[in-house]
């Protein structure tokens, strides 16, 4: 009996370590993760008031500021954010930020389209888009970029 308990506990520990390793394997760099986490935390706060009020204003401002940043970490963060619901209006900002970068962002789009980044906090699962919506976001970005267009005003 004691032997079975020891084996069971050992298996649970090994499985826990494997799951933790898998989550780490699909996690982007700390800089990218920080950007994504900040936006998702702001989105959760804004969603409490149906994307109205001060939290929604902070989210909009942060997304607008990030959309102007042409760094690679920000580009990668915006691609990862295609997997999440950030509010109706903010989908336009997401698509603009991705498609305005043109052909140079296609490798990141392909990478995360094929193998999405794992959410590293359970609360972010609430914001994940359903598979069909996610596919639509990626297809729209691929289509616009491949035709040399951007979804910016």
Contact 87, 45 (CB under 8 A): no
Q: Which two tokens stand for residue 128?
A: 């994940």
d(CA 40, CA 82): 12
DSSP annotation of 84: B
Higher pLDDT, 123 or 50: 123
Indicate the domain borders of the chain: 29-146
3-state class of 128 per DSSP? strand
- The tens digit of pLDDT for each residue in 103-125 reads 999 999 999 999 888 777 888 98
pLDDT band at residue 26, thresholds of 50, 70 and 90?
low
- The tens digit of pLDDT for each residue in 59-91 reads 999 999 999 998 999 999 999 999 999 987 788
Q: Is the pTM of this model over 0.85?
A: no
């Amino acid at each position: 009996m004691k032997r079975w308990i020891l084996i069971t506990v050992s298996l649970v520990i090994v499985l826990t370590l494997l799951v933790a390793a898998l989550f780490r394997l699909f996690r982007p760099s700390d800089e990218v993760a920080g950007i994504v986490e900040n936006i998702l935390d702001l989105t959760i706060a804004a969603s409490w008031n149906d994307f109205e009020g001060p939290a929604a204003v902070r989210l909009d401002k942060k997304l607008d500021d990030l959309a102007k940043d042409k760094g690679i970490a920000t580009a990668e963060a915006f691609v990862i954010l295609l997997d999440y619901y950030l509010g109706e209006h903010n989908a336009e900002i997401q698509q603009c930020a991705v498609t305005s970068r043109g052909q140079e962002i296609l490798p990141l789009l392909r990478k995360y389209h094929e193998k999405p980044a794992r959410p590293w906090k359970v609360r972010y699962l609430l914001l994940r888009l359903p598979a069909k919506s996610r596919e639509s976001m990626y297809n729209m970005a691929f289509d616009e970029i491949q035709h040399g267009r951007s979804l910016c005003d």
